[in-house]
Amino acid sequence: MSNENDDATQLGSIGRHMSKPQQPGNPQARPAFQAPSLPTHPQEQDGDEEGTVLSTHNATPSRPTRPTVPTAQPMQAQPTQSAPTQQPLPQSQSAPVMATRQFPQTTAPSVKPAQPAMASSMMSAPQADITEFHELFAQLVGNVSQVVVGKEQPIRQCATAMIVGGHILLEDNPGTGKTQLARGLANSIDMSFKRIQFTPDLLPSDVVGVTYYDQKNGEFEYREGPIFASIVLADEINRASPKTQSALLEVMEEQKVTVDGETHAVPQPFMVIATQNPIEQLGTYKLPEAQMDRFLIKTTIGYPSHDVSVNILKQVNVTDRASTVHAVLTGNDVLRMRAISETVRLDDAIIEYIVRLVEATRHNERIQVGSSMRGALALTRCARVWAASSNRGYVVPDDVKQLAVAVLAHRITLTAEATFAGSTPEQMIEQILNEVPSPTVGATA
């Protein structure tokens, strides 16, 4: 505001004679942000600079019967009026900006009056496409829940990864339903599905395909491997050799396969669901960090509860629960939901909160290698899908907190001291969530 007063003072003094200042009017009786009418003769002006400066805000004149001075005409500014005019303007100009960065250590007292306005804008009714997203997401989760009963959280995480276009790593004990969850998700969507059983003697050509010489046609032809499917189940991925595991690096990141110098694109949408057991590590090969970072989410299923176990035993005649469900969505529906999720509002305070979480993993003394920028991007995209699945067109801090462990835990490496002390990556992410303050966007004063 001081820059505007200086400009008004300089412009008013160019090419004009300095006249004697008149007595200013009563600023308390005049309503804020209204430009009073000025007389046509300079000798009778009221000496009010608010009419000149504030008229740029389209204020209504207080006396319409008298002619007003155009906003482009420079007027003589009075130094005594600078104090009243500077007080109301900073609130209307700075509040919308500051309200997006309301962390406890940086919140200014002047921000509080603008918080109710931010809350009303963020709490707007969901649009039609967000409602459509919520209904389709609920249909998908409900259909897969018939296969893996009582495990809504990992099912929602798998559905989120599919919509984002990422990959899932299911790590759990044998017999918990990892393969059934993958097959149930594949059968719920009308898309191609292939299953690869990873073994120590599996070759990369068995995954991506091979170029062979056709003697009948007299030319080389490319035969696609099982990786060319919309949903690929890599069962017990850690049992294959590192050479075979590396065949998935390009296709998981770039959605392409290069064989003999020729690049082939995989169908869209594309998703890899890999499973591995945390036990029975004899004869297995640990996934390298570069491949672990390519998985969008790593989650577990866990054992069912007592009541769910009783209900499953009552349906003991059902040997393959994944084959009992039918498709409720198509590939175009998944792509449509992906496009809708990209329109979900992401406030600047939420973005800064995600960056702070990722940076906290890099500066923790018990973490040797923190999360990469790919982890921050993955958490941001998953949070938008998670918000849309809750019938909201905006992301809240709880969306980030509910996904942080599944998205960031497998991207960090603990120090040897922390590992020997019994700490796990999941516990470290939970500790970081408790230490990093969450934003208060939309909170009332």
Q: What DSSP string describes 182-219?
A: HHHHHHTEES-EEEEE--TT--THHHHEEEEEETTTTE
What is the model's pLDDT at position 148? 85
Q: How many residues belong to the chain?
A: 445
Contacts of 163 (CB under 8 A, 6+ apart): 137, 334, 337, 338, 341, 385
What is the model's pLDDT at position 393? 87
What is the DSSP secondary structure assignment for residue 410, as one 8-state letter? Answer: G
**Residues β-bridged to residue 214:** 219
What is the model's pLDDT at position 110? 40
What is the model's pLDDT at position 351? 92
SS3 label, residue 290: helix
What is the DSSP secondary structure assignment for residue 394, as one 8-state letter? Answer: B
- Phi/psi for 339 (5° steps) reads -65, -35
Q: What is the rounded distance in angstroms from the CA atom of residue 59 to the CA atom of residue 278?
A: 69
271-276 sheet: strands from edge to edge: 193-197, 231-235, 271-276, 168-171, 297-299
CA–CA distances in Å: residue 315 to residues 141, 145, 182, 311, 320 = 21, 15, 21, 7, 11
Ramachandran sector of residue 436 (left: φ over 0; alpha: ψ -120 to 50; beta: rest)? beta
Q: Packing angle between helix 152-164 and helix 373-389, nearest 10 degrees?
A: 110
What is the maximal distance between C-alpha atoms in the chain? 105
Q: List, as one string, the DSSP characters of 66-132.
A: S----TTS--PPPGGGHHHHHTTHHHHHHHHHHTT---TTT--GGGGGGHHHHHHHHTPPP-HHHHH
Contacts of 111 (CB under 8 A, 6+ apart): 95, 98, 99, 102
Cβ 24 vs Cβ 48: under 8 Å: yes
The string of pLDDT tens digits covering residues 213-272 is 888 887 888 888 888 988 899 888 888 888 888 888 888 888 888 888 888 888 888 889
- Token digits for 274? 């890999």
In a structure prediction context, what are the per-residue pLDDT tens digits for the chain, which is 445 residues long?
444 444 444 444 444 444 444 444 444 444 444 444 444 444 444 444 444 433 334 444 444 444 444 444 444 444 444 444 444 433 333 333 334 444 444 444 443 333 333 343 444 446 888 988 999 999 999 888 888 888 888 899 999 999 998 899 988 888 788 888 888 888 888 888 888 898 888 888 888 888 888 888 878 888 888 889 888 998 888 888 888 888 888 888 888 888 888 888 888 888 899 988 877 666 778 888 888 888 999 988 888 888 888 888 888 787 778 888 888 888 889 999 999 998 898 888 999 999 999 999 998 888 888 888 999 999 999 999 999 998 888 899 999 999 999 999 999 888 888 889 888 889 999 999 998 888 885 544 3
Q: Cα–Cα–Cα angle for 379, 384, 385, nearest 5°?
A: 100
Cα Rg of the chain (Å, integer): 31
What is the model's pLDDT at position 2? 44
Output the CA torsion 308→310→314→319 (10° steps).
Answer: 60
What is the model's pLDDT at position 70? 45
* Tokens 């080389």 found at: 220
What is the model's pLDDT at position 284? 78
Contacts of 55 (CB under 8 A, 6+ apart): 35, 68, 71
